[in-house]
Chains A and B, each alone.
Chain A
């Protein structure tokens, strides 16, 4: 009886603790300040897109619309099995499009031939012949493409009195046929197979080279694959091959296909509309920045950010992740409660009524979103820190130098910086102390942050995080990324600190 009530008590206490953590009202000031910082950064990021708008998001951009849409609609996600059975081995299509087309044509030619089973049997027997398979394939490749010429040359092979020097040029596989009947039969099979190869010399060379490169296991898999196609109706086969030709894997081994993404840039082909939408997007971001209809403009800004992100996967880097996180979480918060047009209008209307505007009060949603930012930050630092432990340079202390000396990231084109790196390399003690020191600082900070930041040491670790991101901004040029990280760090700032600097007369009435 006691045990049961203890359990209930424990659950109640846990729930109370959970509720306290997530659902305690908090002053929205850090989030309002974050809105302004993030809004400015996001505005900058999207104005910067203007330089490359058509090249990035136009129908013929770096990642063109056709390819992007194909990826969005069809990208395979392989099935993860619940049991220990492995997926059946299937024929791996070559990576090149032209090679794929040639392989598909060969498959379809086999299926369309009068006796596909005999062709497959012939291929099977070739597969057992080891190197002699390759010899025969080369022989078939080099035979005349004209059928009459080809038949004449094959007919000559059936002559029993073939001179020895000509015999030495023939594939061994052919010479093993000892009787005339078997030679005739073999010549007929070879002819049948050769008929299925492309007529064009270049295409034939590429296809035969592909077959020569095929391992025994793939050779067999090819035949199994064709037999599998043989069992399908023409409609099923077309559907199956349409996917297989694009992605080189059967749809049946996928859990699902496609990406849950949206963007006008997937659809807009008219460049005037492209520019018009870009302009409207920037207006939405400005509305969010100034806090006009903040709830709606926040959602719009998140959608706008996603629209660029979803269409532009190969152009993205860390800053886009941080930008998106900021907008996604701010969307659930009253981040327009202060320093916003909404607030200004609220006060103005109240004044017109001869009343005082209702004060900004702590809210559960502000507390909740601050917690979400904090937990997210801990996840990010923990992952960044722990994953570094996989790399030897983070153990031997040279990881920083791997960043400092990277000419495409660091300001290596500046002679002052280059001289500094050179000076450091000339002085071993300075080099080791600086590099190892920063590496240890980074690892300690990133791994310890999720634990220490909840203690009285919070100001220290937050200051260290600012230092880390300043270093990243200066030495690696990732300015906007670092500024977004600073913006997210505001979730750890006490509202009083922000009020002391930017408070004016509109502070929250009750500090949480």
Chain B
């Protein structure tokens, strides 16, 4: 029989809950089951079964700890179960080594903390709080322009903790400015020469759930393709190449040249290749798909004057497509020297201001659609647009 502690928050050496012991045994059984198959070969059904047993064992251990949270032997059993889970994980599930490692460390540290007197425990928890919120501060201040201290502390000190816990957001919503949204338009060419367009996201089709979560996830995919290098000027070689194609695809007359070239960052290009592979698979893979042209389409919002003139916010000319390249189904860029690569392919309105013709308010605007020429297919035509199928 344990005497009641003078310090009610302090840990004790009372017997652990039975569930913690059972959990440890189950976890160990899972580890033993999976151990012979812990090779570099892909995990088979036995490894999956072993993993399931391990997870079940860990949950039971957790229930035991939750019943008697101040039992130091209980916490030590938890640490033991996590360590056994670490040992029992198949080599291929390496990310779970991280998780079980963290669980082991947390259980061990918690059992040590429970040994401390109240002030010691409070000091320790205060230290953790200070560390966590300093990390949050480093996250907030780490986007450029940042101080050396933010950059150093984020890279060196806080990153593992904040990335693991996903508390690494800078919370800089709509700053410095709310910007236009981006879409991704894929033009898929089959071996039979037919072309189809696949666009994400699009309202209302991709509003799959009533509150639009999946729509915004798709919008995030497209935004992830919009991280570009900030260049002081368009590289001369890119400009020279663009001029080679200017007869077929002219520059946009209303946008400065500098803004018509967007070089995606290296990590973005890796994701772009992955997106292309995914769409290629959707359309039947290498057997059916010859190539995929990808455009990041900035949907330019109307300004006040345009609204007053009765323009349509979904008019063709409000879409600014930047060509991200033509790919094979494996996501390899076909021609890195395509003259229009990473350039804006204009959809230009035949504006009243340019044509000198007064247009009735709200009347449809005619456009020169160079995207249709560039892709060899009109993205706004019903019979090529995947929306109608």
Contacts and interface: CB of A to CB of B under 8 A. Distances in A.
Nearest to B277: A64
Interface string B279-317: 001000000000000000001011110011010011000
A188 to B, nearest CB: 31
B281 A52 contact: no
26 contacts: A44-B211, A44-B213, A62-B278, A63-B271, A63-B274, A67-B270, A95-B266, A261-B163, A262-B95, A267-B95, A303-B99, A316-B217, A317-B217, A318-B173, A320-B166, A321-B171, A384-B171, A391-B177, A393-B178, A394-B176, A399-B174, A406-B301, A408-B181, A408-B299, A422-B308, A477-B216
B202 to A, nearest CB: 9
Interface stretch (A141-149, A157-165, A292-300, A502-510): A292-300
B334 to A, nearest CB: 9
B177 A383 contact: no
B122 A408 contact: no
Interface in A157-185: none
Chief secondary structure at chain B's binding surface:
helix
A67 B278 CA distance: 12
Contacts, number: 251
A72 B176 contact: no
Contacts of B99: 262, 303
A96 B336 contact: yes
Interface string A411-428: 011000010011001100
Interface stretch (B219-227, B346-354, B365-373): B219-227
Interface in A50-85: 51-52, 55-56, 60-64, 67, 71-73, 75, 77-80, 82
A437 to B, nearest CB: 17
* 8 interchain residue pairs of minimum CB distance: A391-B176, A408-B181, A295-B66, A314-B224, A402-B178, A387-B172, A387-B175, A262-B95
Nearest to B216: A317
Given A62-B221, A379-B133, A413 B177 contact: no
A390 interface: yes
A51 B92 contact: no
Given A52-B217, A60-B281, A63-B274, A19 B224 contact: no
B183 interface: yes
Contacts of A248: 266
Given A260-B98, A324-B166, A384-B173, A296 B63 contact: yes
A405 interface: yes
B178 A399 contact: yes
A480 interface: yes
B129 interface: yes
Interface stretch (B29-37, B152-160, B243-251, B376-384): B152-160
A234 interface: no
Contact of B333 (A96, A293, A407, A425): A96
Given A62-B275, A261-B163, A388 B174 contact: yes
Given A80-B156, A391-B176, A309 B166 contact: yes
B95 A72 contact: yes
B234 interface: no
Interface string B133-176: 10011001000000010011001100111011111011111111
A133 B381 CA distance: 49
Interface of B: 9, 42-43, 48, 59, 62-63, 66, 69, 92-96, 98-99, 122, 125-126, 129, 133, 136-137, 140, 148, 151-152, 155-156, 159-161, 163-167, 169-181, 183, 201, 203-204, 208-209, 211-217, 219-221, 224, 235, 237, 266-267, 269-271, 273-275, 277-278, 281, 299, 301-304, 307-308, 310, 313-314, 318, 332-333, 336-337
B337 to A, nearest CB: 6
B333 A97 contact: yes
Most buried by A among B171, B176, B270, B332: B171
B208 A52 contact: yes
Interface of A: 18-19, 22-23, 44-45, 47-49, 51-52, 55-56, 60-64, 67, 71-73, 75, 77-80, 82, 94-99, 205-206, 209, 212-213, 247-248, 255, 259-264, 266-267, 269, 273, 293, 295-296, 299-300, 303, 306, 309-310, 313-321, 324-325, 328, 364, 368, 372, 375-376, 379-380, 383-384, 387-388, 390-394, 399, 401-403, 405-409, 412-413, 418, 421-422, 425-426, 431, 477-480
Given A48-B209, A96-B336, A328 B165 contact: yes
Nearest to A284: B59
Given A267-B93, A479-B212, A408 B307 contact: no
B174 A267 contact: no
A18 B275 contact: no
A293 B63 contact: yes
Contacts of B277: 60, 64
B214 A408 contact: no
Contacts of A418: 313
A262 B304 contact: no
Contacts of A79: 155
Contact of B178 (A263, A264, A375, A403): A403
B163 A321 contact: no
A8 to B, nearest CB: 15
A405 B166 contact: no
A368 to B, nearest CB: 7
A255 B163 contact: no
Contacts of A384: 171-175
A374 to B, nearest CB: 12
A205 B335 CA distance: 11
B308 A406 contact: no
Contacts of B174: 384, 388, 399, 403
Contacts of B125: 22, 368
B175 A480 contact: no
B313 A405 contact: yes
Contacts of B302: 405
Given A255-B156, A262-B98, A390-B175, 4 more contacts: A325-B167, A387-B172, A406-B180, A412-B313
